[in-house]
Amino acid sequence: MPKVEQEELKKRLVAQALKEGFVAARICRPWDVPEVPARLRAFLDAGYHGQMSWMEERTNWRADPAALWPEARSVIMLAESYTPDENPMDVVGLPDRAAISVYARGKDYHDLVKKRLKRLARWLIAEAGGAPEVKVFVDTAPVPEKALGQAAGLGWQGKHTNLVSRDWGNWAFLGSIFTTLDLPEDRAEPDRCGSCRACLTACPTEAFPAPYQLDGRRCISYLTIEHKGPIPLELRSKLGNRIYGCDDCLAACPWNKFAVEASDLRYAARAGTVAPPLAELARLDDATFRETYSGSPIKRIGRDRFVRNVLYAIGNSQTPALRPVAQSLCSDPDPAVADAARWAVQRLT
């Protein structure tokens, strides 16, 4: 395809992406992230991945997007906003209520973003001619989306390791379309964090050993979602009332003054996900939990881990009225739940 036609196709592709609901679309090469292998190796060698053993699998793909699909010539990186309607930190000050991460309050983003990516990929195939091949990815394959996002110019990886943009802050999901098409690439976005440390100082568990480094073993998102079994004693009190994920470092970023409103209403918070009462959540059995969080990313951690987190929040609540709720779960069949219940009772005695 001649260069003029490539430029025109890219222009129409970006316009179509915005029409689909993405806030930005940029293009890089699969091999434009040479720093990833060393950074990934250092992360794994330090043990920062904790129990996420899957991060050690297929490290050749995770470290080198070009190895994931050698035929790919271009990566179309896309961002989709999920900016909250309210300050997500307000609920952190409500001791008898639960704080659920903004991204998990609506419908599961994996489903929404992937469908949007597939529609855009079909459009690209139809418009490009010559039957180009495409593959779409949303957070479930060994793709370094944040590094590719920076290489493509979507934004830069901030000191909290998440992607930040001058145009839409850091409340966004990332998706990618790998294609055999040779599309004109964009320039990488330079780091614009400057001397700011707002995200680092906002972390309740001090999970950042240094700027641009995250110790997942101390991250509340990791602890409440990925970590199996009892959470270490020294970290439980630092969880506060955060029962699924954590928004502290994201909410602290000053670039959010440019945040873009979410275009998909399905990202809006579902009933029962904004400051739900801890007492009600602690009483969920497996069937009710599955029904309540059907279609939500919360469902994947299961009732036991969810209630474990709720009990830590109860223990941190300084609300003696919640003590009977914790007592009722001291003999729960799940060892981690029973342990969390006993811990909560002791804290409220």
pLDDT digits (tens, 9 = 90+) for 205-252: 999 999 999 999 999 999 999 999 999 999 999 999 999 999 999 999
Q: What's the pLDDT at 57?
A: 82
Higher pLDDT, 176 or 86: 176
Angstrom distance (rounded) from CA 17 to CA 25: 7
Active-site residue identified among 139, 167, 186, 334? 139
Mean predicted confidence (pLDDT) in 142-164:
97
**Which residues, 6+ apart, have CB-to-CB distance to 144 below 8 Å?**
33, 36, 40, 62, 63, 65
Q: Which two tokens stand for residue 182?
A: 């040779």
Q: 75-112 pLDDT, tens per residue?
A: 999 999 999 988 999 999 899 999 999 999 999 999 99
The total of other beta-carbon atoms located within 10 Å of residue 15's CB is: 11
Given a contact cutoff of 8 angstroms between Cβ atoms, the answer to whether 49 and 216 are in contact is yes
Angstrom distance (rounded) from CA 146 to CA 201: 22
Given a contact cutoff of 8 angstroms between Cβ atoms, the answer to whether 322 and 283 are in contact is no
Mean predicted confidence (pLDDT) in 296-309:
97
Q: Which two tokens stand for residue 206?
A: 């001090």
The total of other beta-carbon atoms located within 10 Å of residue 129's CB is: 10
Residues of the chain above pLDDT 70, percent: 100
Picking from 276, 309, 310, 271, the residue whose alpha carbon sits closest to that of residue 291 is 271
Angstrom distance (rounded) from CA 99 to CA 160: 20
Q: Dihedrals φ, ψ of 54, to 5°?
A: -60, -20
**Which residues, 6+ apart, have CB-to-CB distance to 3 below 8 Å?**
184
Mean predicted confidence (pLDDT) in 49-76:
91
**pLDDT grade for 130, boundaries at 50, 70 and 90:** confident
Angstrom distance (rounded) from CA 288 to CA 304: 12
* Domain 3-84+106-179 classification at class level: alpha beta
Angstrom distance (rounded) from CA 151 to CA 29: 8
Q: What's the pLDDT at 11?
A: 97
Domain with CATH 3.40.109 in the chain: 3-84+106-179
Q: 314-339 pLDDT, tens per residue?
A: 999 999 999 999 999 999 999 999 99
Q: What's the pLDDT at 167?
A: 95
Angstrom distance (rounded) from CA 139 to CA 137: 6
Q: What's the pLDDT at 5?
A: 87
Rounded (10°) angle between helices 335-348 and 302-316 = 10
Bridge partner residues of 81 (DSSP): 172
Environment class of 195 (CB within 10 Å of its CB; exposed 0-12, middle 13-18, buried 19+): exposed
108 counts as catalytic = no
